[in-house]
Amino acid sequence: MLSARLFCIVVLFMLLNVSIGQNKLDSLLNVLQQDIEPRERILTHNRIARIQINRDTTQAHYHKDIMDSLSVQHNDTLGRFLTAAIQNIFAVKNNDLEKSEAVLKEQLKLANVMNQGKFKTGVNYELSILKQKQGEMDSAIHYALESYKLFEESPEAHAMNKLMILNHLGGLSKQANKYKQALSYYLRADSMSASIDHYAAATKKGNLYNAIGRIYLTLLDTLNSIDYHRKSIIEYKIVDDKAGQSTSYGLLAKLHMPMNHDSTLAYLRTSLALAREVGSAYHIAEAQNLYGDYWLKQGDSRQALDYYNKSYDLFSSIDRLGSIAVTTMRMARLEEKQGNYQRALSLLDDASVHYESTENIDGRQAVSYSKALVLEKLGRHKDAITLLWDAYNLKDSLNFIKYNKEVKELQVQYETEKKQAALEKQDLVISKQRSERKSILGMGGLLFSFAGLLIWNLISRSKKNRKLSVQRDQLQEQKIIQLEKEKEIMSMASMIEGQEAERARIAKDLHDGLGGLLSSVKVRMTTIMDEIHQIESFNIYQRTTEMVDEACDEVRRISHNLIPGALRLQGLKTAVRHLAEELESTHDLTVSSELYGFDEPIDETRSTFIYRIIQESTNNIVKYAKASKVLIQMFESEDEYQIVIEDDGQGFSKIQDSDGLGLKSIRSRVNYLKGTLDLDTRVGIGTTLTINIPK
């Protein structure tokens, strides 16, 4: 019964719309029967053509042709511009990009003749979107910048339009792998969105925050990525945008997958439920892909493949080539884990074809790298090395170091600009108050000069106000000093976070790339030894094998130092114990560790920073202290963590040596964690480092 009523309501609504549209069309046709000016006649034909575009193509062309004829007859530039606009709509509907480009360039000439900024802005924006479709990214960025420049020059331009073009510029820059530039546009758009009605801009802000979060994920900045995706959910909830929320929850699931299985599952369930509620094939497929990733990580290949196949079918039904390529890559990874290397290579070839058609450099690089790993497992080492070089030539991994540094600086700059803007606003208020006081005093001098007592009161009040003004100025100076301090801490923190991300990347490359290849070399050498029994210089083989073993051990040692496995898998307490044991086994030191508390998990950034503080401190002891005993103590209370590192070495002069690079690195990390550092060193007796970090 309910379904029947709902169907009737929908049908009635459609009929009502048709009726209203027909009434509007009849009204416009009646206007054409009247004696009207040529310009009004052109505008009326334009309105009719636009209504008929999605209803009756023949009628739309008919009215467009009349517009064209009248515009030429009366030399009406606006009419010619509007005629071209309708021609472009037809070209876009027919996917005739060459025709669309020719028409848009003609429109741009006409807009310049009329000197209409609004028209020039719109045409440049459409040309940018066209060039993006054609894969000409430099031209797309050029036209988008022209559009934004015109927006900036126009005082009446709406902030929402500026937000839209900045978002578009960010997307173009990201597509061109210019991450710093993309983040710059996105952050500028975020600043501008503050002046727009919150409800009206909510969806755009949600999309913007997700875009920023994705860039941070690309640059391995997990904390900022999580923060922006959470912000996006808040914006989407304002307008009940369930599709947007589904995307954000999916991205959060992806970020939490390596860290927290419970959180990952919760986010995945929410993402898929919202996607199904909306009924969006794309969002359902995205959520199912992430479910596949989760089950693959859990070792359940059957469930993983089931979800990947569902996603593949859905993406194919809506012709999303890029998404099909990503899903195919996931399926290839699954086949590789199961040892089906030929099947994995076949799937990677399919993904490569899809990425070629979308000109996705990141995707092509990922395919090359994945194929290299599979070929290496098949023993095709020469082909594997060739593909690895192809992958790194597509996008040199060293660029990430540069991008991370520049992006962190950019983030600090924008945060500082926001705070500076707030201070300038406060300055303006104080200046206005001063101006008002001066005006009042001037009027008082003219009107009440005969009232001595009143003047005395005004003078007293003025003195009091001046005193308040001085106090405000002092407060302002203190705020500026504080801002500078915060900026310095943020810069140091950005540098340290970048170092940690780069350590993780290098460790992964060493372990997955070089380590795997060395192991394969050893296996092949063993095979050769089994096959060749008559080797006169056997000791050469023996020494070569020993050298390979040493190289493998060195790779493992470097990877462990860059990102200790115990810290990731077993937590801070175990990692520090391992560090103490390693120090004692590799150096002539007696190392004691006393660890109290630290039984509950600590967030990844905090535990990594504390571990680095202890590691840097013990490195300094090994290098400079000439100590025989080292004590590492860690205490956890309700409010804080305390770390004490003590040695019986030669100590040093605080004045001369306390600003060394090692101590600077320790101080930077302590400052980031809002902690305190106390250094007690005596020449000939030893050094004690005490660090307190609030929870």
- Above 50 in pLDDT, residue 525? yes
- Above 60 in pLDDT, residue 470? no
What is residue 537's predicted lDDT score, i.e. its pLDDT? 46
Q: What residues contact 642, with CB distance under 8 A and at least 6 apart? A: 633, 634, 635, 636, 690, 691, 692, 693
Q: Is residue 373 part of a domain?
A: no
- Per-residue tokens: 499: 């170092």
| Side chain identity, residue 642 | Q
Q: Is residue 499 part of a domain?
A: yes
Greatest Cα pair distance in the chain:
124
Percent of the chain surpassing pLDDT 90: 18
- Per-residue tokens: 685: 């007796």
- Above 60 in pLDDT, residue 641? yes
**Claim to verify: residue 508 and residue 607 sit in the same structural domain:** no
Distance of alpha carbon 531 from alpha carbon 71, whole angstroms: 88
Measured from the Cβ of residue 459, the count of other Cβ atoms closer than 10 Å reads 12
**Claim to verify: residue 430 and residue 511 sit in the same structural domain:** yes
Q: Is residue 131 part of a domain?
A: no
**Claim to verify: residue 505 and residue 615 sit in the same structural domain:** no
Low-confidence winner among 157-171, 217-231, 395-409, 620-634 (lowest mean pLDDT):
395-409
- Above 60 in pLDDT, residue 275? yes
pLDDT confidence bin for 538, thresholds 50/70/90: very low
Main-chain dihedrals φ then ψ at residue 65, nearest 5 degrees:
-65, -40
Tens of pLDDT, residue by residue over 108-135, are 999 889 988 888 888 999 999 888 888 7
Mean pLDDT of 662-684: 86
Q: Is residue 494 part of a domain?
A: yes
Distance of alpha carbon 15 from alpha carbon 193, whole angstroms: 39
Nearest-CA neighbor of 257 among 285, 293, 284? 293
Which strands, in side-by-side order, build the sheet including 640-647? 590-596, 629-636, 640-647, 686-694, 676-682
**Claim to verify: residue 527 and residue 596 sit in the same structural domain:** no
SS3 label, residue 101: helix
Mean pLDDT of 500-519: 52
- Per-residue tokens: 495: 């540098």
| Side chain identity, residue 422 | A
Tens of pLDDT, residue by residue over 360-411, are 666 777 778 788 888 888 888 777 777 776 666 655 443 444 444 444 444 5
pLDDT confidence bin for 65, thresholds 50/70/90: very high
- Above 50 in pLDDT, residue 447? no
In the chain, the number of structural domains is 2
- Above 90 in pLDDT, residue 23? no
- Per-residue tokens: 447: 């009107």
**Claim to verify: residue 517 and residue 619 sit in the same structural domain:** no
What is residue 451's predicted lDDT score, i.e. its pLDDT? 38
Q: Is residue 339 part of a domain?
A: no
Mean pLDDT of 659-664: 67
Percent of the chain surpassing pLDDT 70: 67
DSSP β-ladder status, 590-596 and 629-636:
parallel
What is residue 443's predicted lDDT score, i.e. its pLDDT? 42
Mean pLDDT of 215-238: 88
- The distance from CA 687 to its chain's CA centroid, rounded to whole angstroms, is 43
pLDDT confidence bin for 497, thresholds 50/70/90: low
What is residue 306's predicted lDDT score, i.e. its pLDDT? 92
Tens of pLDDT, residue by residue over 163-214, are 888 888 988 888 877 888 888 888 888 887 776 766 767 888 898 899 999 8
Tell me which residue range forms the domain holding 629. 566-694
Q: Who has greater pLDDT, 444 or 662?
A: 662
Q: Is residue 474 part of a domain?
A: yes
Q: Who has greater pLDDT, 589 or 355?
A: 589
Mean pLDDT of 33-60: 88
Could you please report the per-residue DSSP string of 316-381? HHTT-HHHHHHHHHHHHHHHHHTT-HHHHHHHHHHHHHHHHHHT-HHHHHHHHHHHHHHHHHTT-H
- Per-residue tokens: 105: 């360039």
pLDDT confidence bin for 654, thresholds 50/70/90: low
**Claim to verify: residue 579 and residue 493 sit in the same structural domain:** no
> Whats the size of the chain, residue-wise?
695
**Claim to verify: residue 408 and residue 531 sit in the same structural domain:** yes
pLDDT confidence bin for 13, thresholds 50/70/90: very low
Q: Who has greater pLDDT, 476 or 367?
A: 367
602 within 8 A of 573, measured Cβ to Cβ: no
SS3 label, residue 291: helix
Among residues 524, 539, 554, which one ends one of the domains? Answer: 539
What is residue 659's predicted lDDT score, i.e. its pLDDT? 55
Mean pLDDT of 240-245: 92
Q: Is residue 587 part of a domain?
A: yes
User: What does the DSSP 8-state code read for residue 260?
Assistant: -
- Per-residue tokens: 634: 């860690």
pLDDT confidence bin for 504, thresholds 50/70/90: low
Strand partners, 596: 635
**Claim to verify: residue 532 and residue 640 sit in the same structural domain:** no
Domain with residue 687: its CATH number is 3.30.565.10
Q: Is residue 430 part of a domain?
A: yes
Distance of alpha carbon 170 from alpha carbon 183, whole angstroms: 7
pLDDT confidence bin for 272, thresholds 50/70/90: very high
625 within 8 A of 643, measured Cβ to Cβ: no
pLDDT confidence bin for 656, thresholds 50/70/90: very low
**Claim to verify: residue 571 and residue 607 sit in the same structural domain:** yes
DSSP β-ladder status, 676-682 and 640-647:
unpaired
Low-confidence winner among 273-282, 315-324, 543-552 (lowest mean pLDDT):
543-552
What is residue 83's predicted lDDT score, i.e. its pLDDT? 92
- Above 60 in pLDDT, residue 645? yes
Q: Who has greater pLDDT, 595 or 358?
A: 595
Strand partners, 592: 631
**Claim to verify: residue 519 and residue 436 sit in the same structural domain:** yes
**Claim to verify: residue 506 and residue 437 sit in the same structural domain:** yes
Residue with tokens 């902030």: 159
Mean pLDDT of all residues in the chain? 76
pTM above 0.85, yes or no: no
- Per-residue tokens: 584: 């004692």
**Claim to verify: residue 524 and residue 578 sit in the same structural domain:** no
